[in-house]
A and B are shown apart, each in its own frame.
Chain A
Amino acid sequence: MVIRLFQIIKRSEITTLKKTINMLIAIFLALVTVAIFLAILGYNPLSVYASMLDGAFGSNYRIKQTIVNTIPLVITSLGILIAFKMKFWNIGAEGQILIGGFCGGYFAYNFAYWPKPILLLVMLIAGFIGGGLWGLLAGYLKTRWHASEAITTLMMNYIALKWIVYLQFGPWKDPNAFGYPTMSRFAENAIFPKLFGVHIGWIIALVLVVAVHIFMTRTKKGFEIAVIGESENTGRYAGINIKRTMLLAIFLSGALCGLSGIIQASAVNNILSSTLANGLGYTAIITTWLAHLNAPLTLVVCFLFAVLTQGGSFIQTAMGIPSSVATVLQAMILFFVLGSELFNNYKIVRKNKQQKEVK
């Protein structure tokens, strides 16, 4: 007969402080685990971590680079946040980013002669609406036929990706690129200006953090989205128009991702390409989740993740260590933090009494 020495017991309450400590311990353990992994590969983990930090903060340029990495992650995470709050599992940010880039890019390529402020504004709006509509497709399938959004949004990523690849190899191919399959660079007119050395996307990101936070916590629509997320039935019962609210939230979710796409294409890449999203839409799922669907926290988490990404690409050039170390670390942190949440709700205690045999 099995004798259990430990028992899992439900915790009654837990303070925010304790939750934070739990989370920090989890991050620390993730770092330790990856350190072991690095040591096995024959690197000195401490110096790898140190040069990652150096890569992220070591110079003015590097700090700016870290911030540039933060911007699309924040905006995309905010988009995902709105959908996740409603328990609509939008994992289609990747595709929405691409379509946002495509819709904004359409104006960048065709109307470069417009006055700059007007062109940029139209590009933003086009990216916003484009990403939103792309998301809305999955939303429609969900509300109309209960199609699982986890599947539809994911599959639509590939449609979006292939569409951009098609443009890149076909109709939008740059004729002056000597046959190389690439689109042409955006005209100067279609590139977002810089403020304090970083493209103005950072202002947009900060404004959006505040806006989304207010929207989710202080407005009626945000409240309705949260209610639907908790229980669709209760929403119906309270007289919420479920379909309309759902579609609105999904549109906004996709729209923010699309916005992030066009900003990235214009301000950072200066070109539309099939590598625009490049996993951003998936990383943003992790950051959104780690931030507990809280907009201000999203900013913090995204910044930390940008540090990892920036540090990761630095060690690749500086030490010849694959930048995937950073990705491994990100995934590890997610695992440990998710695992640590068990301890927010339960505690493990040692059984004080020896168990006796039955009969």
Chain B
Amino acid sequence: MDNHTAYIEMVGITKTFGKVIANHDINLQVEKGEIHALLGENGAGKSTLMNMLSGIYTPDSGEIYLEGKKVSFNSPKDSIDAGIGMVHQHFKVIEVMTAAENVLLGQKGGILFKKEEKKKIAEISERYHLQVELDKVVNDMSVGEKQNLEILKVLYRGEKILILDEPTAVLTPQETEKLFQIMRRMKENGCAVLFISHKMNEVMEITDRVTVLRKGTTIKTLNTKETNPQELTELMVGHKMDLSIERVEQERGDLALKVSDLTVVANDGHQKLKNVAFELYFGEILGVAGIAGSGQKELCEAIAGLQEVKSGEIMFKGENLAKLTPRKIIELGIHMSFVPEDRLGMGLVAGMDMVDNLLLKKYQKQKGLFLDKKPAIEQAQKITDELEIVTPGISNYPVKNLSGGNIQKVLLGRELDLSPEVLVTAYPVRGLDINTCHKIYDLLNESKKDMVAVLFINEDLDVLIDLCDRIMVLSNGEVIDVVDAHNITKEEIGLMMLGKRVKGGDSVVSNN
């Protein structure tokens, strides 16, 4: 320590929320000019730690040093003044303003008539190869552009430390590659980049060192070159773990769902789905890939009867679902679970306990006026045991107080327990730890073996390729292609997600 001072040093950081210890005695050292990954499962304390470095939280105990000097952040402003910038998962930009205005916002002198400042922004943008059109309104930007803008904001303020909180979760493989180039450039310019992620391959590709967190404590800091995904996973999870995803190979069954010419128009007149057509068979998992907001939600909701359909048909056993009420569709055995970004927006009643939430899909089949809670209580106990849900109690404990992973287990557990014939599941593993992810993949495989027709919408292309039989790619509400998951690459899907049809049509599965 005497002859070497780390750029950032966090020592003995502890932070608790109520009874939950989010960070316990965490130590972290980051050097100038390095890309440092924070790796850990959900709830390991990565975001909490970074929020303390960026001044959003204050630690209960422990110290933060910058270049050897002790600092104490009471607000994000203190942290920004000290040269630390953070890009959050959810972008903090003003949608109706231009890129340049967003950058200048909150800076001395305001946002008006700033020719020189604009020049400076353009310069920085140029230097780091950030692709941001300064006069473009944020509203019209793609996710990748918005992210670049966030980074530009940080750089403009002259920050030397950049924290990226799961930046690649919303990007296509191509956009991710561009982001990595920007990160490398920052590194060359002597910045320190903290990269939060749980995607192993990205950590391996871009970072110099990795600090693994588990359950709120620092496990180890390693040089990326001297480690491998297997070792990192073990450190992260705490035990040995098979990372491969098994695909059940079996003959698919009969046609379950035939969607043809499905068009959905949103209230604002935007076409959300354009002449979508595909077929889903019993006993197969059909994956759906696409950039966020390409029509996945509308597709799910149309099948579940929640979305008004402008034209087209969704045929199931001779009935057109587009003309039925949600209740009728549920009775037909079609179940949908959609895990939105906030995890609670749909499907679960946040303020109710687990029993009531399970009751939600059961009570309508009960006879008479009164509720019978018994079956739901039994089911709650069963699901709790089977899926290892951690909860202080199945009754009188609102599900919103459970951790994200447990909430999702309740949701998916309920849908699977209804023994559906068609299961539509969107983002079921969103933000879950590796263990639980694999449990859920297993559940989907089980369903497939039971000849359930599964429509599986997911962000992680690796998983889609490993788990699904076929993959349908959506771009801007259109089906670009339905491809065989056995012989397609991530890059090809990435291109299709951007709306480009991949040549060599032999990968296309005939659709009749």
Q: B209 to chain A: closest CB distance in Å?
A: 27
Please judge, given known A-B contacts A218-B370, A220-B370, A239-B326, whether A227 and B349 are in contact too, CB under 8 Å. yes
Q: Which residues of A contact B336 (CB under 8 A)?
A: 237
Evaluate contact between A220 and B363: CB separation under 8 angstroms.
yes
A contact residues around B306 at 8 Å (CB): 236-237
Q: Which residue of B lies closest to A214 (CB)?
A: B370
Interface pair B304/A358, CB less than 8 Å apart = no
Whether B82 is near chain A, meaning CB under 8 Å from some CB there, is yes
**Are A358's CB and B326's CB within 8 A?**
no
Whole-angstrom distance between the alpha carbons of A95 and B372 in the complex? 37
Interface residue stretch chosen among A5-13, A278-286, A294-302, A329-337 = A5-13
Residues of B within 8 A of A (CB): 17-20, 58, 61, 69-74, 78, 81-82, 304, 306, 325-330, 336, 345-352, 356, 359-361, 363-364, 366, 369-371, 392
Q: Is the CB of A219 within 8 A of B371?
A: yes
B19 touches A356 (CB 8 A): no
Residue A359 interfacial (CB < 8 Å): yes
Can you list 18 pairs linking A and B with CB atoms under 8 Å apart? A4-B74, A7-B58, A11-B18, A12-B18, A12-B19, A13-B18, A13-B392, A220-B363, A226-B352, A227-B349, A230-B350, A231-B349, A234-B349, A237-B306, A240-B327, A241-B325, A241-B327, A355-B74
CA distance A37 to B327 in the complex (A): 58
The answer to whether the Cβ of A158 comes within 8 Å of any Cβ in the partner chain is no
Once the chains bind, are B74 and A236 in contact (CB under 8 Å)?
no
Question: Which among B58, B71, B327, B360 has the greatest number of chain A C-beta atoms within 10 A?
Answer: B360
Interface presence of A238 (CB below 8 A): yes
CA distance A2 to B72 in the complex (A): 12
Name the residue of chain A whose CB is nearest to the CB of B17.
A10
Q: Are B346 and A355 in contact (CB under 8 A)?
A: no
User: Provided the pairs A230-B351, A230-B352 are in contact, do residues A237 and B346 lie with their beta carbons within 8 angstroms?
Assistant: yes
A221 close to B (CB within 8 Å): yes
Docked CA distance A114–B18 (Å): 66
- A2 contacts B74, CB within 8 Å? yes
Residue of chain A at shortest CB distance from B338: A237
The interface bits of chain A over 1-37 (1 if a CB of B lies within 8 angstroms of the residue's CB, else 0) are: 1111001011111000000000000000000000000
The reply to whether B73 and A238 form a contact with Cβ atoms under 8 Å apart is no
Residue A223 at the B interface, CB < 8 A?
yes
A130, B261: Cα distance in complex, Å: 49
Interface residue? A233 (CB, 8 A): yes
Chain A residues with CB under 8 Å of B20's CB are: 12
B352 — which chain A residues lie within 8 A by C-beta? 226-227, 230
A-B interface, 5 closest residue pairs, ranked by CB to CB distance from nearest: A12-B18, A239-B327, A12-B19, A239-B326, A230-B349
Query: Within the complex, what minimum Cβ distance (angstroms) separates B19 from chain A?
Result: 4
Total interface residues in chain A, CB < 8 Å: 33
Return chain A residues, CB-CB under 8 Å to B61. Answer: 353
Q: A12-B19, A220-B370 are in contact. Are A356 and B72 (CB under 8 A)?
A: yes
List chain B residues, Cβ under 8 A from A234. Answer: 346-349, 360
Q: Which residues of A contact B345 (CB under 8 A)?
A: 231, 233
Chain B residues in 8 Å Cβ range of A240: 327
Distance between Cα atoms of A241 and B327 in the complex (Å): 8
Interface residues of A (CB under 8 A from B): 1-4, 7, 9-13, 218-221, 223, 226-227, 230-231, 233-234, 236-241, 353, 355-359
Interchain CB contact (< 8 A) of A359 among B71, B363, B366: B71
Say how far A221's CB is from chain B's closest CB, in angstroms: 7
Chain A residues, CB < 8 A from B356: 223
Interface-central residue, A3, A221, A227, by most chain B CB under 10 Å: A227
8 A-B pairs besides A226-B352, A237-B347, A240-B327 with CB distance below 8 A are A219-B369, A226-B349, A234-B347, A238-B361, A355-B74, A356-B72, A358-B72, A359-B82
CB distance from A82 to the nearest CB of B (A): 16
Contact, CB under 8 Å: A218 / B371: yes
- Whether A358 lies near B350 (C-beta < 8 A) is no
Q: Once the chains bind, are A239 and B74 in contact (CB under 8 Å)?
A: no
Q: Cβ of A358 and Cβ of B78 under 8 Å apart? A: yes
B359 CB contacts on chain A under 8 angstroms: 223
Per the bound structure, the CA–CA distance linking A214 and B369 in Å amounts to: 11
Q: Are B369 and A220 in contact (CB under 8 A)?
A: yes
A215 to B310 CA separation, bound complex (whole angstroms): 39
> Is B371 a contact of A355 with CB atoms below 8 Å?
no
Select the residue from A9, A10, A237 with max chain B CB neighbours within 10 A: A237
Report Cα–Cα, A230/B345, bound state, in Å: 10
Closest B residue to A233 by beta carbon equals B346
Please give me the residue from chain B that is nearest to A239 by CB atom: B327
Instruction: Name B331's closest neighbour in chain A (CB-CB).
Output: A239
Q: How far is the CA of A343 from the CA of B229 in the complex (A)?
A: 46
Q: How far is the CA of A166 from the CA of B117 in the complex (A)?
A: 68
Residues of chain B within 8 A (CB-CB) of A11 are 18
Q: What residues of chain B lie closer than 8 Å to A353, measured between beta carbons?
A: 61
A226 to chain B, nearest CB (A): 7
Chain A's nearest CB lies how many Å from the CB of B67? 10
Give the chain A neighbours of B71 by CB distance below 8 A.
Answer: 358-359
CA A238 to CA B356, docked complex, whole Å: 12
Residues of A within 8 A of B328 (CB): 239
> Contact at B330–A357, with CB atoms within 8 Å?
no
Bound-state CA distance A353–B69 (Å) is 18
CA distance A1 to B325 in the complex (A): 59
Contacts of A1 in B (CB 8 A): 74, 78
Most buried by B among A7, A10, A230: A230
Which residues on the B side are within 8 Å of A357 (C-beta)? Answer: 72
* Contact residues in B for A219 (Cβ distance below 8 Å): 369-371
Query: A220-B371, A237-B306, A237-B347 are known contacts. Are A358 and B81 too (CB-CB below 8 A)?
Result: yes
Among A10, A238, A355, A356, contact of B360 (Cβ-Cβ < 8 Å) = A238
Question: Quick one: which of A231, A239, A355 contacts B325, CB cutoff 8 A?
Answer: A239
Expressed in whole angstroms, the Cα–Cα distance for A218 and B304 within the complex equals 28
Shortest C-beta distance, A345 to chain B (Å), equals 10
A residues in contact with B348, CB < 8 Å: 234
* Chain B residues, Cβ within 8 Å of A2: 74
Residues of A within 8 A of B304 (CB): 237
Contact check, A227 vs B360: say whether CB atoms are below 8 A apart: yes
- Give, as a whole number of angstroms, the nearest-CB distance from A349 to chain B: 10
- The reply to whether A358 and B349 form a contact with Cβ atoms under 8 Å apart is no
- Asked if B18 and A239 sit within 8 Å, CB to CB, the answer is no
- Closest B-chain residue to A224, C-beta based? B363
B369 partner, pick from A221, A227, A238, beta carbons under 8 A: A221
In the bound complex, CA of A230 to CA of B352 (Å): 8
Which residue of B326, B363, B371 contacts A236 across the interface (Cβ within 8 Å)? B326
